[in-house]
Chains A and B, each alone.
Chain A
Amino acid sequence: MSGKYEAVIGLEVHAQMLTDTKIFCGCSTKFGSEPNTQTCQVCIGMPGVLPALNKKALEFSMKTGLAMNCKISLYSRFARKNYFYPDLPKGYQISQYELPICEAGHIEIVVDGEVKRIGITRIHMEEDAGKNIHEGGGPYSFVDLNRAGVPLMEIVSEPDIRSPKEAAEYMKKLRTVLRYLGVCDGNMEQGSLRCDANVSVRPAGQKEFGVRAELKNINSFRFVEKAIEYEIKRQIKILEEGGKVIQETRLWDSAAGVTLSMRSKEEAHDYRYFPEPDLVPITVGQKWIDDIKASLPELPDAKRERFVSEYGIPEYDAEFLTSEKAVAKWFEEAVGPGGQPKAVSNWMMGDLMRLLNEENKGIEECPLKPIQLVDMLKLIDNGTISGKIAKTVFDEMFKSGKDADTIVKEKGLIQISDESAIERAVDEALAKNNNEVERYKAGDEKLLGFFVGQIMKATKGKANPQMVNELLKKKLG
């Protein structure tokens, strides 16, 4: 971004709640079923039916609000947002408008080592719409209402975000917190987490906000950053060419990597919001709020700080390990029975993540148990295997599910720590490579590595590397 301009960004995030049933009826919220199999008269919007609030959705919203330091409204209510669309069976969406359930919160993100607080304006509950399906080529479209009535939270940030990177970090943080709470699975690709971005730019130092564009259809974490980046550049270019940014809604086209105008301010819908008369206002007792607050799990920020202080691992490691509740759990289940924290962290951030990624698995599906890593670390510590051999053992454990001990025995991977055996190997290596010995003695000390390699090759990697080093140095004088 040009230093002459500053971007101002606010995000509106829709998170599908992980309730078993819909927000106003008893239909299942399961994803991916046959079209219109998870519907009833209420979520289809038949005449005369009435919504009845799913208490779980209210509880999840309050949980989220409390985790994001919001004020929970003791009195809130639903409103109708009126517009016509085939995927909206009632012709209005039941949402919250004037009196949302949560207001005035914040979360913290870390960007380039700096902690930054992003305000949360409000969190409100609403129902999801269905889906229009355009296929088959006929002069009509299909409507699937399975998703109609799935509970959503809309989390609206303050315009506190200043860069695409911050926006991406904010999204990641939201996702982490939502997943910690178990209120949303955070899957952007499947649409259970959606993001609209309000983006404007202003000359650096100017107080007033610039004219904003609202970006829609940002459906992956990668695109949050890309779409906003593109939009900022687009707006700066307009300003630099002496033009004016117009207020409009723009669609992110991920294939082309651009944002395209969807509708102008003049074409914007007038949703004719008014209080929903079919639902009584929501009143929440302080006791309930306190109970929910007390039941909140340890949240990522607190966990990260604890990991640093309790386990003495670097901030970077702690940030990674606490990004997912399940990852943190795995870590603690390895550290608990005696795994050295930094060693566990290294193995997790390196080989474990690589293997999981290769198989496209989450930590929940990890075939390797934390205790198996602990046992392997013991074998390294007591010199049974070398760190290098351990990599082979680790891969094998992950693939076969066998314990390190078994693998070491079956494959004969026990480290050679017998001094006479190592000495023999060292002597052989030196005898075979007279030239290199001469060069080493003449001062080419880098060749030490060459000799180590030769010895390791001869011993199939099993020689204790420390002893090899010591012996080599001694013999080469």
Chain B
Amino acid sequence: MKLNELTVSELRRLLDSRGTKPQEVLDDVYNRIDAVEDKVKAYITITKDAAYETAKDAEQIILSNKQSLLTGIPVAVKDNMCTKGILTTCASKILYNFKPPYESTVTACLKEQGYILTGKTNLDEFAMGSSTENSGFHTTRNPWDLERVPGGSSGGSAAAVAADECIAALGSDTGGSIRQPAALCGVVGLKPTYGRVSRYGLVAFASSLDQIGPITKNVMDSAIMLNAIAGHDPLDSTSAPAEVPDFANFLGQDIKGLKIGIPKEYFIEGMDKDVDDAVRSAVKKLESLGAIPVAVSLPHTGYAVAAYYILATSEASSNLARYDGVKYGFRAQGGKDLLEMYMNTRSQGFGAEVKRRIMLCTYALSAGYYDAYYKKGQQVRTLIKQDFDSAFKEADVIVTPTSPTPAFKVGEKSTDPLQMYLSDIFTISVNLAGVPAISIPCGFTKNNLPIGLQMIGRHFDEGLILTAAYAYEQSTDWHKRRPAL
């Protein structure tokens, strides 16, 4: 077995027992990248030289027994998190040359824990999309079927983890962007509670919904990565001063008597039959482990996608105003005055989906429309939060499919934005409510495509969903399967 195929916890043990060295781990990771990256295209930037530099330090640290959680562990980071001095593009032409002079809080946390950055992974431009087809540079392919998308927007991170091109990765999730690609690539993706992880240095898509989280090969690694990045940050006033437990402590606990809520609104007409079957068997499996299924209702689910696209794009239209060609990034040449410079820069610098969303909500926020759109969207958001509050009176964890379909083909939905938006139908409500959720592998379709199971928890109760996810994972072997590349 190659070292790049190991998990974080396995590597930790091996490195600490001097069974290997960080450089050897990197050798295997970069050999794998050399072998498969042409096909998968998970990365935008590969930071090999810097990685080997860090590996030298890591070796010394391990030799002096001063290692932290991630000392010497190669991790990939989605290219919308700022890494000091390292290209951070958001997969947008408008930031094609942007090297931040500062570090995001999450990557600073990973640094503090000794990680080695393998590179920056591909995404839909500014995290707007569900397939990475909206990347301004290239489309990432699903390691299970190269004809298919890896999901998105954190498709690069999910594909890199699934293809063993790194040990673990960070993604960001605004409407499902960690969980949906994790599901489509057969790996574990965790979106923490809004406010659990600092957003400082995460290039904003929709500030009130964005949250960073890990994409890993198993639930244990998810807990370890969350331990590394969770906590209050004075630089992000929306990060919560809530206490951060050791999430590893939640693994291995019994789930006897755990009430798992099954929302009837999430088992819909038109859902892929294999997905439906896999999720229902997963519920049976949980039941066999002692969990008690209860029917719950999230009645406003039907309005979630509409509300989400108003609110998220409203924030986005404002968040993306700073890319104006004045200070950094791309500037179009040849404009005869300021207005032309702005228009040319933004017309040429942004891709179609980004422009679509900016226009949509420049309209939604305009005088006379605010009440009908933005305000209504906020009201729906409140109702959705209340849905979850009441559902969590009945259930401890809510279990749903992560995505209504497995990975779709490249190009299959890219001409129909609405079809694409609907692929986030099961993940979006979670962001609107701000609650945590995890996606774990729960089976395969007849075509051997991975299927994801979503477990949703109460605010700041990542612990309980990790408990349930780990219990399920340990009783199955879906997570052990690897794509044949």
Q: A: which residues have CB within 8 A of B?
A: 41, 44-53, 80, 82, 84, 86, 89-92, 143, 270, 272-274, 277-280
Contact = CB atoms under 8 A, between A and B. Distances in A.
Interface in B308-340: 314-315, 317-318, 320-324, 326-328, 338
A408 to B, nearest CB: 63
Contact of B207 (A53, A82, A277): A277
B365 A272 contact: yes
Interface in B23-45: none
A49 B102 contact: yes
A89 B203 contact: no
Contacts of A49: 102, 200-201
Interface stretch (B232-240, B297-305, B391-399, B414-422): B232-240
Contacts of A279: 237-238
Contact of A89 (B201, B204, B322): B322
Contacts of A90: 321-322
Given A82-B365, A274-B374, A277-B315, A50 B322 contact: no
Interface string B136-153: 000000000000000000
Given A47-B98, A274-B365, A91 B324 contact: yes
Contacts of B362: 272
Best-surrounded residue of A80, A90, A272, A280 (most CB of chain B within 10 A):
A272
B237 A274 contact: no
Contacts of B367: 270, 272
B90 A274 contact: no
Contact of A41 (B102, B199, B315): B102
Contacts of A277: 206-208, 238, 315
Contacts of A82: 317-318, 321, 365
Nearest to A81: B318
B326 A48 contact: no
B315 to A, nearest CB: 6
Interface of B: 80-82, 88, 90, 95, 98, 100-102, 104, 199-204, 206-208, 234-238, 314-315, 317-318, 320-324, 326-328, 338, 342, 362, 365-367, 370, 374
Given A44-B327, A86-B326, A91-B318, A280 B238 contact: yes
Contacts of B238: 50, 277-280
Contacts of B338: 86
Contacts of A52: 234-237
Contact of A272 (B80, B236, B366): B366
Contacts of B314: 274
Contacts of A278: 204, 207, 237-238
Nearest to B365: A272
B237 A48 contact: no
Given A48-B200, A49-B201, A92 B318 contact: yes
Contact of A47 (B234, B237, B322, B366): B322
B100 A47 contact: yes
A50 B374 contact: no
A293 B102 CA distance: 40
Contacts of A50: 199-200, 235-238
27 contacts: A45-B327, A46-B100, A46-B102, A46-B327, A46-B328, A47-B90, A47-B98, A47-B322, A48-B82, A48-B202, A48-B203, A48-B204, A49-B200, A53-B237, A84-B342, A86-B338, A90-B322, A92-B321, A270-B367, A272-B366, A272-B367, A272-B370, A274-B370, A277-B206, A277-B208, A278-B204, A278-B237
A88 to B, nearest CB: 9
A282 to B, nearest CB: 10
Best-surrounded residue of A48, A89, A278 (most CB of chain B within 10 A):
A48
A280 B236 CA distance: 10
B321 A41 contact: no
Given A52-B237, A84-B324, 10 more contacts: A41-B100, A47-B90, A47-B98, A50-B199, A50-B200, A52-B236, A270-B366, A272-B365, A273-B365, A277-B315
A47 B323 CA distance: 9
Nearest to B342: A84
Nearest to A282: B237
